[in-house]
Structure 1
Amino acid sequence: MYVKGAPCVVFVVLTFWCGFPVFSAGFATFRNVTPKVVQEKLIWIKGQEEVSLYRIPIISYTSQGSLIAASEARKYSGSDHGPKFLAVKRSTDKGYTWEPQQFVSDDGSIVKDGLNLGAILSDDEKGIMFIFYTMCAHYDHCDTSTTHVIRSYDDGVTWTNSFNVSEQIGTRMFAPGPGYGIQKKLPPHVGRLVVCGHTSKRGMVCVISDDHGETWKNGGYIKSIPFKQPTKAGDFNPNECQPVELPDGSIMINMRNQGHYHCSCRIITRSFDGAETFSFDNLYFDEALIDPACAASTLYHNGVLFFVNAMSTNKRENLTLQWSYNNGTTWSGKLNIFPGYSAYSAMTAFSNSLKYGDELYILYEKGQNSANSMDSLSFVRVALYG
């Protein structure tokens, strides 16, 4: 394990596009970004529709140009345990307006350890949307943890009943995300679906599908230290995570550093075989990405790597967007989105083929009325070029 990425040689070509400098570095071409918040809107609020609290935001584009947002609708309390709905909202105009929420899954009223989000995934080749969640993630009054998936074949308008993926990947606790899964666009394994998360007392793990989600199998992992034992502060414990595909076809995983091992910052690793294996040789700590051990999001878009989190070493506050032109070797700028209480965040963008590639969309937990608790999920539109 190391702190800085290995030295590399980057060849840079400078041209101009509509008066702006455009750079080609290695595999990627990018235009300098000047991010600016152009809209913010609360789309879930504590107490809405008699739900005690909405938490764990996830968001994705669809191949048809819509946005799908999902959250845990915690019925009776804000606890991670207890019964919940899986709440979904859909926007067909880039988040300006949202359709009424749907409760697309319901774990009942007496369950002690209800559903936990989760990851959302767009299969762009088939036009299918997936949402993954876990039951019995904390083993509270239950003995077997299971992973479930629901699908939409009509751009998020309707959703199927859940399918128990544990029949294929096993019944160890697997908590996807929270965030989004990816479909590989570049070799190796073009078209592969990849969802990553963490497991109890084990570390980070990915599951993969090469048949558009019909079947799933276990992929690579990074073991916690100690392994299969309770962990504590100071231990190496990679936790909630987000994969992205880089322009060389590798997959980068940005992970929550649960035990603050080495630093209060993010753990980064890469796979070069489509998430089948991960090696400690490719693992490092990005000390520029300070983090209080909280779920965050990263996104590779238009040749730029973006990262958003509660930028603090020990508090969930100061939601900040950062960006890098060299795959995270250095970070070139930052934009503060909200200085107050802010926790879990998720991020997405449309591909350029949909002509919406000049914006990012962020969904995050916001403490609107309290200095130390979240009471809303807020949607933010960020213009990338000012």
Structure 2
Amino acid sequence: MKPRSRSLLTSLVLLTSLTVRTPAHAAPGGCDASEPYVSGQGGYAVYRIPAVVKTRHGTVLAFAEGRRGGAGDTGDIDVVLRRSADDGCTWGPLTVVTAGHGHTRGNPAPVVDPRTGAVVLVTCANDGAVTEAQIMRGEVAPGQGRRVFVQRSWDDGRRFTAPRDITAEVTRPGWRWYATGPGHAVALTRGPHSGRLLIPANHSAAPPAGSRDTGQEARYYGGHALYSDDGGRDWHLGFVDDGYDGVTNANETSAAQLPDGRVYFSSRDQNGTAPGNRLDTYSSDGGRTLDRPYAVQPALNAVPVVQGSVLQSRGWSAPLVFSAPSVPTARRALALWSSADAGHTFTGLGTLMARPAAYSDLVQLAPGTIGVLYETGAKGPYESLEFRRLRLPQRPPAGCHGRDRCLVQGGANLP
């Protein structure tokens, strides 16, 4: 069993959670938080799995899974979208980007093509009557398992093309489970692979022939990436983490391109035997291969087994930012960490609130300003998706060194 560490953020000051409904014509900075999705509204029992990007025209696109039957990962699930023209203060009507029609559509991984401005969305799907566990055990009929699809929008996210199946291009024989992201993907803007759209993902493989490892399918989880060099028309399989040793089980993954051009991958460790719950690695060739195998990131031991998000920010200090819950044994108290050394170490910035919280995704709004879309609620983490705007310091505040709190929210420094 993994040892559980105390939260790295227990000494940080808790921020008050708030929801502000500000008119769409409000001046920039006029709101700190909003709720684009509230479970039970809009025809869906639960909204989960946030993913957010900002388009070339400045529109914030907040994607989610709209789950009609409840919080479960299987069933009648659509990929839905709300758009904001004011950096997340207010939101337009809900639209369905990919309809399940009784089946499961999800794991949205959107990215904006830096060359054309098109919004490219990669998702996964499976038969609504089967579960992840059944798929991982190979207990599903042909056509019921996981498939991978791509869509594009040329009009700032108002309309998307029909889903196009790219499964054959981005899988290997024998793979069972498959999940893109979830959360935003990354467009490379530096180095020889500039323009590449890179989707972090994970998969599971079939156990070796004759294996009796029944009930421990998670040990066959591995990370991988898929990429396109032509704006999402053609897709290729990048690196494949296929050690399957059960020590590190790379699962839901987020990626960011570092200032030196490398790609940083941060993954959930799905019950591997190594201490800690976060894994990371790097790629120096745009995601085609890894510089080293996935390894535990000990600075994030406060994070429970859950998805997290990374973003290479822009602004004064341009840190690599990470978001996730901050209680090792529970999904609650969403927090932010930053790294000034390309992900080798992380420093806690602060917690957003003490309430339950689970999945999250980060987006750059303006230089020095980021947004986070995250699952939260008063009694449980799946009551709503909240969007919070946060300003990173434009210059080092007095005394802001080491583990001091440097996060700014709503125009005020953390105390």
TM-score, normalised relative to structure 1: 0.82
- 1:378 aligned residue (386, 389, 392): 386
The corresponding residue for 1:47 is 40
Aligned to 1:287: 298
* Structure 1 segment 1-386 matched on structure 2, within 5 A: 39-109=32-102, 111=103, 114-136=104-126, 138=132, 139=135, 142-143=141-142, 144-170=145-171, 172=175, 173-200=177-204, 201-226=220-245, 235-280=247-292, 283-290=294-301, 291-302=303-314, 303-350=318-365, 356-368=366-378, 370=379, 372-385=380-393, 386=408
Could you tell me which residue of structure 2 aligns to residue 30 of structure 1? none
1:53 partner letter: V
Instruction: Report the residue type matching 2:257 in the other structure.
Output: E
Letter in 1 for 2:375: E
Q: Assess, with a 3 A threshold, how the Cα gap between structure 1 residues 216 and 265 changes in structure 2: closer, same or farther.
A: same
- Cα shift at 1:286: 1.5
Letter in structure 2 aligned against 1:157:
R
Instruction: Assess, with a 3 A threshold, how the Cα gap between structure 1 residues 70 and 196 changes in structure 2: closer, same or farther.
Output: same
Offset, 1:142: 4.7
Quick one: which amino acid aligns to residue 105 of structure 1? Answer: T
Name the CA distance, whole Å, in 1 between partners of 2:388 and 2:344.
Answer: 26
Distance 1:125 1:384 in 2: 27
Q: Partner of 1:326: helix, strand, or coil?
A: coil
Counterpart in 2 of 1:353?
none
Whether the aligned pair in 2 keeps the contact of 1:224 and 1:238 (CA below 8 Å) is: no
Q: Per-residue deviation at 1:236?
A: 2.0
How far residue 261 of structure 1 moved from its aligned partner, in angstroms, is 3.1
Equivalent residue letter for 2:251: N
Match of 2:32, SS state, is strand
Q: How many angstroms apart in 2 are the aligned matches of 1:142 and 1:105?
A: 23
Pairwise CA distance, 1:167: 3.6
In the alignment, what sits opposite 1:9? none
On the 8 A contact 1:72/1:117 being kept in 2, the answer is yes
Shift, 1:329, TM fit = 2.8
Gap runs ≥5 in structure 1: 1-35, 351-355
Give the Cα separation in 2 of the matches to 1:189 and 1:241.
21
Distance 1:100 1:224, change over 3 A: farther
Name the CA distance, whole Å, in 2 between partners of 1:88 and 1:224.
36
Deviation at 1:324, TM superposition (A): 1.9
Cα distance in 2 between the residues matched to 1:343 and 1:129: 26
| Contact 2:284–2:291 (CA under 8 A) maintained in structure 1 | no
Q: Aligned-pair distance for 1:187?
A: 1.0
1:263 Cα deviation from its structure 2 partner = 1.8
Cα distance in 2 for residues equivalent to 1:37 and 1:179:
26
Give the conservation status (yes or no) of the 8 Å contact 1:237–1:259: yes
User: 2-side partners of 1:61 and 1:373: how far apart?
Assistant: 25
CA positional deviation for 1:275: 0.5
Q: 1:213 to 1:384 in 2, by over 3 A?
A: same
CA contact (8 A) 2:114 2:189 kept: no
Q: Which amino acid aligns with 1:314?
A: T
Distance of 1:365 and 1:218 partners within structure 2: 30
Q: Aligned pair in 2 of structure 1 residues 263, 101: CA closer, same or farther (>3 Å)?
A: same
Q: 1:346 to 1:73 in 2, by over 3 A?
A: same
* 1:116 Cα deviation after fit: 2.2
> Per the alignment, in what secondary structure is the counterpart of residue 342 of structure 2?
coil
CA contact (8 A) 1:60 1:122 kept: yes
Amino acid at match of 1:187: G
Amino acid at match of 2:229: D
Tell me the CA shift for residue 106 of structure 1. 1.0
Query: Counterpart of 2:154 in structure 1: which amino acid?
Result: Y
* 1:323-369 per-position Cα deviation (integer Å, ceiling 9, x unaligned): 1222223334411112121000101104xxxxx2231110001023x
Deviation of the 1:62 alpha carbon: 0.8
Residue by residue, what CA displacement relative to the aligned partner does 1:82-133 show, whole Å, maximum 9, x if unpaired?
Answer: 0112110111111111110101211113x3xx11212111102111101211
Distance 2:41 2:141 in 1: 29
Q: CA RMSD in A?
A: 2.0
TM-score by length of 2: 0.76
1:284 deviation in Å?
A: 3.0
Q: C-alpha separation between the residues in 2 aligned to 1:126 and 1:349?
A: 19
SS in 2 for 1:288: helix
> Percent identity between the aligned chains?
27
Q: Distance in 2 between matches of 1:37 and 1:258?
A: 40
Aligned residue for 1:339, secondary structure, equals: coil
